Amino acid sequence: MGRTIGFGILGLGMGAARAKTVAATEGARLAAVCDLDADRLGKAMQEHQCRGFSSFEEMLRCDEVEVVYVMTPSGTHARFGSVAAAAGKHVITTKPMDLTTRRCDQLIEACERGRVRLVIDFESRYYPAMRQLKTAIEAGELGDLIMGEARCKWWRSQNYYDAMGGWRGTWKLDGGGALANQCIHLIDAVTWMCGPVRKVTAQIGTYGHRIEAEDLGMAILEFESGAAGFILATTTYALNNQFGIEVHGKLGSATTVPNWHEIQVAFADGRTALATPRPEGPPRNAVEDMVAALMEDRPPCVSGQEGRRSIQLLEQIYEAAGVGEIRRQAIGTVMP
């Protein structure tokens, strides 16, 4: 058996699933888990036969941990990632990278100072269908872009927002509501496909939940290419079945709604399939991305600069919606 890279998972809420991904990935090894909840910690240690820590600082002193996988609330990613980088650990953060571009920049700079790799876990970037669509757009298969649309119409109960200390839907720890949490994957995807945004008009509101931020947000975009854009995010849709992006070009259109593991396309000439081949093989997730970056000594596919892109647009949306200053004051100007 060849060399394996030791991973430490920080936060076993959503992190429990990532622990399974690490354990199942060739070239990776789950060395440790860390959580304040003793039951979650004990369960993960038993399932994966790995070391467990209730102290992040103690886990950082574990030589077996080479990569720290940050799976804590959104507003803590840059802080924990920066501490890990200072300890010489490579870093993966779950989405979003953090809540502000300033914090994203602080994490990028910390990883550069520590000479460690940084990967942002936007899992859709690794889906073969999404990689195929990105390549097709770059190759001009859809023609000049006319519109890019992101649509997240989901349902979340009040219990969802009240759970785990009630951090979701807050400005300070979630960075917002449906746009910042549920729709951030799509905000990332639509800017990845369609490029930078130069103009934003937005409206947000809280209609069905007792939360600080929005449970419905909409934004009209103008991309630098001249294409139009639209983003819709809500957690008030009881059908809970609309999630994906759509891209219209002068030659054809593509949609990943409702299942963005697959693409439906139609072209003006009658074709219903992309000519661009679907890429196969790794990286198929953020763990494989990190392993390949370290083993092959190359930049990761989803770097810190790539992760920052969606936060920049999120800030533009909230600014356009008139809550930019409220959000900034709640989050603060430096990492907590």
Residue pLDDT, tens place only, 253-264? 999 988 778 899
Q: Are 131 and 115 within one domain?
A: no
Residue 221 lies in a domain: yes
What pLDDT does 265 receive?
97
What pLDDT does 261 receive?
83
CB 91 within 8 A of CB 81: yes
What pLDDT does 332 receive?
83
Q: What is the pLDDT of residues 270-281, one digit of tens each?
A: 999 999 999 888
What pLDDT does 2 receive?
77
What pLDDT does 258 receive?
82
What pLDDT does 56 receive?
98
CB 133 within 8 A of CB 159: no
Q: Are 21 and 149 within one domain?
A: no
Q: What is the mean pLDDT of residues 144-164?
A: 97
What pLDDT does 334 receive?
53
- Containing domain of residue 217, as a range? 127-267
Q: Taking 60 as the threshold, does the pLDDT of residue 291 lie above it?
A: yes
pTM over 0.85: yes
What pLDDT does 336 receive?
57
What pLDDT does 101 receive?
96
CB 188 within 8 A of CB 314: no
What pLDDT does 259 receive?
78
What pLDDT does 280 receive?
82
3-state secondary structure of 202: strand
Residue type, 170: T
What pLDDT does 333 receive?
58
Q: How far apart are CA 181 and CA 168, in angstroms?
A: 8
Q: Are 146 and 83 within one domain?
A: no
Average pLDDT, the chain: 95
Q: For residue 78, what is the enclosing H or E element?
A: helix 77-86
Residue 313 lies in a domain: no
Residue 142 lies in a domain: yes
What pLDDT does 1 receive?
54
What pLDDT does 272 receive?
96
Report the first-to-last Cα separation within the chain, whole angstroms: 42
Q: Taking 90 as the threshold, does the pLDDT of residue 44 lie above it?
A: yes
CB 117 within 8 A of CB 291: no
Q: How far apart are CA 214 and CA 210, in angstroms?
A: 10
CB 47 within 8 A of CB 35: no
Q: Taking 70 as the threshold, does the pLDDT of residue 247 lie above it?
A: yes
Beta bridge pairs of residue 254: 247, 265
Q: Taking 70 as the threshold, does the pLDDT of residue 143 lie above it?
A: yes
* C-alpha of 253 from chain center: 25
Q: Are 71 and 185 within one domain?
A: no
What pLDDT does 122 receive?
95
Q: Are 55 and 108 within one domain?
A: yes
Q: How far apart are CA 285 and CA 302, in angstroms?
A: 10
Q: Are 97 and 165 within one domain?
A: no
Q: Tell me, what DSSP letter sits at residue 126?
A: G
The CA-CA-CA angle for residues 311, 55, 42, to 5°, reads 100
- How many domains are there within the chain? 2
Q: What is the pLDDT of residues 191-235, one digit of tens each?
A: 999 999 999 999 999 999 999 999 999 999 999 999 999 999 999
Q: Are 95 and 135 within one domain?
A: no
Q: Are 48 and 102 within one domain?
A: yes
CATH at residue 169: 3.30.360.10
Q: What is the mean pLDDT of residues 67-73?
A: 96
What pLDDT does 335 receive?
59
**CA atoms in the 13 A half-sphere facing the CB of 189:** 33
Residue 207 lies in a domain: yes
Residue 311 lies in a domain: no
Q: Are 133 and 260 within one domain?
A: yes
